[in-house]
């Protein structure tokens, strides 16, 4: 078993699908900023069901609740590059509009 590469970090940003940044989806703004910053990669994943701080469950199973689903933006790169990018994500999210987590990851060649 190999040991995790401590210099790699995964940032996961959890937000609502409806979150906006200057009339653009916030998740899209985060991905474009990550690309412009030269980060190794980013992806957006749409949840099929979830709830946040407000407690309201959003799901694809009920038509009236199928909007504003949870979204996760995942970025992986060297630790210092990801940590430097946190400020850009905070700017896009604003106050209380999302959650950022950071995890050390092992890259499998």
User: Which parts of the chain register pLDDT below 70?
Assistant: 1-6, 58-67
pTM: 0.84
pLDDT at 39: 97
The CATH class that applies to domain 22-104 reads alpha beta
Q: Count of alpha carbons within 13 Å of 47, Cβ hemisphere only?
A: 23
Could you read off the pLDDT of 65-92 as tens digits, one per residue?
556 788 999 999 999 999 999 999 999 9
Q: Is the dihedral of CA 4, 79, 27, 20 positive or negative?
A: positive
Domain boundaries, the chain: 22-104
Residue 91: count of CB within 10 angstroms of its CB: 12
Contact 93, 26 (CB under 8 A): yes
Alpha-carbon gap, residue 80 to 69, rounded angstroms: 31
């Amino acid at each position: 078993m190999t040991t995790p590469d401590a210099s790699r970090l995964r940032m996961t940003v959890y937000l609502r699908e409806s979150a906006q940044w200057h009339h653009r989806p916030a998740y899209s703004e985060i991905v474009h900023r990550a690309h412009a910053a030269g980060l190794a990669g980013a992806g957006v994943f749409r949840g099929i069901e979830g709830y946040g701080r407000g407690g309201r469950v959003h799901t694809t199973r009920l038509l009236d609740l199928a909007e504003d689903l949870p979204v996760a933006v995942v970025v992986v790169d060297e630790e210092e590059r990801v940590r430097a990018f946190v400020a850009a994500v905070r700017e896009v999210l604003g106050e209380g509009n999302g959650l950022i987590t950071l995890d050390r990851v092992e890259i499998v060649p």
